[in-house]
Structure 1
Amino acid sequence: MEVSEAKRLKALEAENAKLKKMHAEHMLDVATLKEMLGGNC
C-alpha cells in the first residue's frame, strides 16, 4: 500500500466514524421524539 493510499484510507475511516456518530445521534433524537409523542409512531 502506498503512502497516498494509506492517507486516503485514514481519511475514509475518520469520515466513516463521523457518519456513524451522526447516525447514532439521529437515532437517539428519533427515539426521544417518539417517546415525547407517546410512542404512537
Structure 2
Amino acid sequence: MASYYLWRSKFGGLSVPEAKRLKELETENGRLKKLLAEQVLENEVIKEALRKKW
C-alpha cells in the first residue's frame, strides 16, 4: 500500500501521456548523468597521466 501512495504523490496530478513523458525524461537524465560522470573520470585520468609524464 505504501508504494501506491508513493506513486500517487509522484504521478497523482499527471495524465497518462505526461506520466510517460516524465518517466522518459527521468531515464534520459540518468543516462546523461552516467555519461557525464564517465567523461569527468576520463578527463581526470588524462590530467593525472599528463602530470606524471612531465
Using the size of structure 2 for normalisation, the TM-score is: 0.70
Identity percentage of aligned residues: 51
Counterparts of 1:15 and 1:9, CA distance in 2? 10
Unaligned runs of 5+ in 2: 1-13
Give structure 1 regions of 4+ aligned residues with deviation exceeding 6 angstroms: none
Greater fraction helix:
2
How many pairs does the alignment contain? 39
Using the size of structure 1 for normalisation, the TM-score is: 0.91
Shift of 1:2: 0.4
- Which structure has the larger Rg over C-alpha atoms? 2
1:1-41 C-alpha deviation (Å, 9 max, x unpaired):
100000000000000000000000000000000000017xx
Q: RMSD over aligned Cα, in angstroms?
A: 1.1
